[in-house]
A and B are shown apart, each in its own frame.
Chain A
């Protein structure tokens, strides 16, 4: 397979097209503008639709509509823009509409800073909108992973009839790296996917009023609403089987770093350097942030582990809350943090590990 040199944002868009995404609506915001820009050029080539909406709310609502008609649809934004889309995301989750969106996150809160950050962890994994819905959340640490995850995300979304989030950051979105692109789905395959959704999607049922599809982001009857919530809960619990995690040099580790996305990638190179110095460092990298790989932390040998070091580009730390749940007080947790658009430095991770080790 030949590799191409692509920017993260563009590679995400191309992966979506290859997965059969034929509708994209979005609104510009740094650092993810190359996603809509790429779709604007690419969608007409595959007879798909690109819309630059008049706002974030309009864009997510269009995606809600397109996906309700059975089309693989996507939107994208960055932190403050994602916040604006939370209404539509919650509606998609309530109506059990499959769609994919990416958050190429930046500093926050508020308008924040346009540089890379990881400050949307809790929003992404715990409450991306009102009403307690949940989504699978993927955190790529390379452009290749961003491609593979985006491609797969549409399958998960269709399987579960639920939104799926790709949570990347400004580094993954703007950096260029060699990637191997996945197969382009054929028109037949895309039609097949769409046809399989006819049992629930609004594709036109002629005058068959009795059996026509309804898209309902809520229920008038409390009993119906509770039933919908219970069904959703069952779905969320089933994701335990979908956990993805990278455990690196953890078997004999005395200091275990845990991080996701770009921070994890930088941490991994720190582990390699520390190992050469004779320091037994390891890394647990959740690839799915939700479901969270709690089990990986149960596998650690707490007689050996001096401490776990939480590394993230967020002040205050957020990811650490899930790490605390996973560790269950079995060892101390230290943090190595930066924020505001500053990018995690390998040196500061190495320094933090050395301090724990000595």
Chain B
């Protein structure tokens, strides 16, 4: 069993952090093989950002596969660029606040979450990635939510003030993901 995930969006949307948290949680809590591979460009901010996470019972071959089982898109350009890599029957997680384009596909599952709006409602636009991580975990159950939260807590350890906000963001995401199962 191998899951290939691509996370894509604008630089600054926390795309890399989302992937890294998921991969780290998998490493910490399971015996599975897991890789995180960031696609890197020359940009420091702005532009597009994407990363690949592979979770597998076997040794991971390519840390970025040709075909994705799951795809998380945080903006329109990412949808256009990566939608063709999603396998039939795969799941698309979409930031429905700003992605209005149609996928043009009927052979995939679509999980919509208006994470930009949800983050703004919570008073901090930066937590949209944590909400989306919650949605992904809530829907797929690929790793237990407790472990993912432990990872987030550990990574944010130096900034404890941010914890309550992130906890709320993660919980809201989980709920939204679970409700669309």
The stretch that binds B, out of A128-136, A230-238, A268-276, is A268-276
CA of A7 to CA of B178 in the docked complex: distance in angstroms?
A: 32
Whether the Cβ atoms of B40 and A345 lie closer than 8 Å is: no
| A343 at interface by CB-CB < 8 Å | yes
CB within 8 A of A345: which of B34, B42, B58, B66? B66
Q: Could you tell me the distance in whole angstroms from the C-beta of A318 to the nearest C-beta in chain B?
A: 21
Whether the Cβ atoms of A268 and B40 lie closer than 8 Å is: no
| A5 at interface by CB-CB < 8 Å | yes
The stretch that binds A, out of B20-28, B120-128, B169-177, is B20-28
- Residues in A with CB closer than 8 Å to B24 are 5, 176
Whether the Cβ atoms of B40 and A265 lie closer than 8 Å is: no
Whether the Cβ atoms of A265 and B35 lie closer than 8 Å is: no
- Considering only residues 331-358 of chain A, those with a C-beta below 8 Å from chain B are 343-347
Q: Could you tell me the distance in whole angstroms from the C-beta of A320 to the nearest C-beta in chain B?
A: 21
- Residues in A with CB closer than 8 Å to B60 are 177, 269
State which size class the interface on B falls in.
Answer: 20 to 34
CA of A341 to CA of B86 in the docked complex: distance in angstroms?
A: 23
Whether the Cβ atoms of B34 and A268 lie closer than 8 Å is: no
CA of A261 to CA of B10 in the docked complex: distance in angstroms?
A: 31
| B65 at interface by CB-CB < 8 Å | yes
- Residues in B with CB closer than 8 Å to A265 are 61-62
- Residues in B with CB closer than 8 Å to A114 are 40-42
CA of A18 to CA of B146 in the docked complex: distance in angstroms?
A: 33
Whether the Cβ atoms of B37 and A266 lie closer than 8 Å is: no
- Residues in B with CB closer than 8 Å to A115 are 40
Q: A178 and B27 in contact (CB under 8 A), knowing A266-B61, A345-B66, A347-B66?
A: yes
Proximity string of chain A (87-118) to chain B, C-beta cutoff 8 Å, 1 when within and 0 when not: 00000000000000000000000000011000
| B63 at interface by CB-CB < 8 Å | yes
Proximity string of chain A (132-155) to chain B, C-beta cutoff 8 Å, 1 when within and 0 when not: 000000000000000000000000
- Residues in B with CB closer than 8 Å to A171 are 37, 63
Smallest CB-CB separation from B25: which chain A residue?
A5
Whether the Cβ atoms of A346 and B61 lie closer than 8 Å is: yes
CB within 8 A of B62: which of A4, A176, A346? A346
| B93 at interface by CB-CB < 8 Å | no
- Residues in A with CB closer than 8 Å to B64 are 343
CB within 8 A of B27: which of A3, A344, A346? A3
CA of A30 to CA of B34 in the docked complex: distance in angstroms?
A: 24
| B38 at interface by CB-CB < 8 Å | yes
State which size class the interface on A falls in.
Answer: 20 to 34
Whether the Cβ atoms of A176 and B61 lie closer than 8 Å is: no
CA of A5 to CA of B40 in the docked complex: distance in angstroms?
A: 19
Smallest CB-CB separation from B19: which chain A residue?
A176
Residue with the highest number of chain B CB atoms closer than 10 Å, among A31, A114, A346: A346
Q: A178 and B34 in contact (CB under 8 A), knowing A5-B24, A268-B61, A346-B61?
A: yes
Smallest CB-CB separation from B38: which chain A residue?
A174
CB within 8 A of A174: which of B37, B61, B62? B37
CB within 8 A of A175: which of B27, B63, B66? B63
Q: Could you tell me the distance in whole angstroms from the C-beta of A348 to the nearest C-beta in chain B?
A: 8
Q: A5 and B28 in contact (CB under 8 A), knowing A174-B38, A174-B40, A178-B33?
A: yes
Q: Could you tell me the distance in whole angstroms from the C-beta of B50 to the nearest C-beta in chain A?
A: 13
CA of A344 to CA of B28 in the docked complex: distance in angstroms?
A: 29
- Considering only residues 71-100 of chain B, those with a C-beta below 8 Å from chain A are none
CA of A30 to CA of B44 in the docked complex: distance in angstroms?
A: 12
| B36 at interface by CB-CB < 8 Å | yes
- Residues in B with CB closer than 8 Å to A170 are 40
Q: Could you tell me the distance in whole angstroms from the C-beta of A141 to the nearest C-beta in chain B?
A: 10
Whether the Cβ atoms of B62 and A31 lie closer than 8 Å is: no
Proximity string of chain A (1-37) to chain B, C-beta cutoff 8 Å, 1 when within and 0 when not: 0011100000000000000000000000011000000
Whether the Cβ atoms of B28 and A175 lie closer than 8 Å is: no
Proximity string of chain A (255-293) to chain B, C-beta cutoff 8 Å, 1 when within and 0 when not: 000000000011011101000000000000000000000
Whether the Cβ atoms of B66 and A346 lie closer than 8 Å is: yes
Q: Could you tell me the distance in whole angstroms from the C-beta of B124 to the nearest C-beta in chain A?
A: 26
Whether the Cβ atoms of B42 and A175 lie closer than 8 Å is: no
| Interface, chain A (partner B; CB < 8 A) | 3-5, 30-31, 114-115, 170-171, 174-178, 265-266, 268-270, 272, 343-347
A-B contact pairs, 11 of them (CB 8 A): A4-B27, A5-B28, A174-B37, A174-B38, A175-B37, A177-B60, A178-B33, A265-B62, A345-B62, A346-B61, A347-B66
Beyond the given A5-B28, A272-B61, please list 11 additional residue pairs across the A-B interface where CB-CB is below 8 A: A5-B27, A30-B42, A114-B40, A174-B38, A175-B37, A175-B63, A178-B27, A178-B34, A268-B61, A269-B61, A346-B65
Q: Which 8 A-B pairs have the closest CB atoms?
A: A269-B61, A5-B27, A176-B36, A175-B37, A266-B62, A178-B27, A347-B66, A5-B24
